[in-house]
Amino acid sequence: MRTRHFGATDPGLRRSHNEDAFLADEQLGLFIVCDGVGGRAFGEVASQETVEIIWEWVKREAAEIAAATDEARVARRMVVHARPLPGPQVWLTPATVARLGALIRGALQNACYMVHGMAEVDANYSGMSTTASVVLVAGELAVIGQVGDSRVYLARGDDVRQLTEDHTLLNMQVKQGLVSPEQARGRKSQITRAIGLHDFVEVDILAFPLQIGDRLLLCSDGLHEYLDSADTLTDLFHLDARDAAPAAIAHANACGGKDNITALFVELLDNTRGP
């Protein structure tokens, strides 16, 4: 399945520099947003290094990803010619899906080890860390890796949902019933997982089937703290991808722009369609 993307980043109105970083590689099907942890030294170094380390790791596994995509394409042709099935289908074996999930988990954990190692070598980097939201599109499957409180959203028609879970103290309190979701909405909170803070990090992995026309948004908390209204997200997803990212940044700045802002929109296209 082909993708089309457009991303943008902005320091916001109150920060002197931008500690966010993002990457989009349509050939690999890889999309990343990282947000250097506020209050930590060299957050911009942590985020940019993490983006590059993840990209290098996944690029080395391009043959594995291509093989999985080919497997899915062959399986789809065989099943569809035998008896067409309604609804979205995943044409990969569970073992292949597990391998792709392990690939993304390994990329994030390697980035954590490497960024933490930079601080071990140079004390000036001590404590630097970053969030990371990663999406790998392999044929008709998306694999998400998540650390921290950047987010991935999915829009399918008019249905918009958050796919990732924030690794924050506040979200932990919500899950424990100490704070209501309404009380938590729009509030900043200390993150509980980050790339580089230690030499190992627990990574959330999610895999799900894609449909033609699906749209994804990867973003830093400098944007999603201003997405309280479901209508705001829906309106952004209804825009052309080239317009959605600048519009998202303009919205966050109009709401105060307290933090760096990054928005990366990805649209899933039919392989037979033109650009």
Maximum Cα–Cα distance across the chain: 62
Percent of the chain whose predicted confidence (pLDDT) is above 90: 71
Q: Mean per-residue pLDDT for 22-48?
A: 92
The residues facing 61 across adjacent strands are none
pTM comes to 0.91
Q: Mean per-residue pLDDT for 219-247?
A: 93
pLDDT digit string (tens) for 132-176? 999 999 988 999 999 999 999 999 998 999 999 999 988 888 788
**pLDDT for the residue numbered 94:** 86
Q: Mean per-residue pLDDT for 240-264?
A: 96
- Checking if the pLDDT of 75 tops 70, the result is no
- Checking if the pLDDT of 81 tops 50, the result is no
- What is the residue extent of each domain of the chain? 2-164+193-269
- CB half-sphere exposure, 64, CA atoms < 13 A: 16
Higher pLDDT residue, 42 or 228?
Answer: 42
Q: Domain 2-164+193-269 - what CATH class?
A: alpha beta
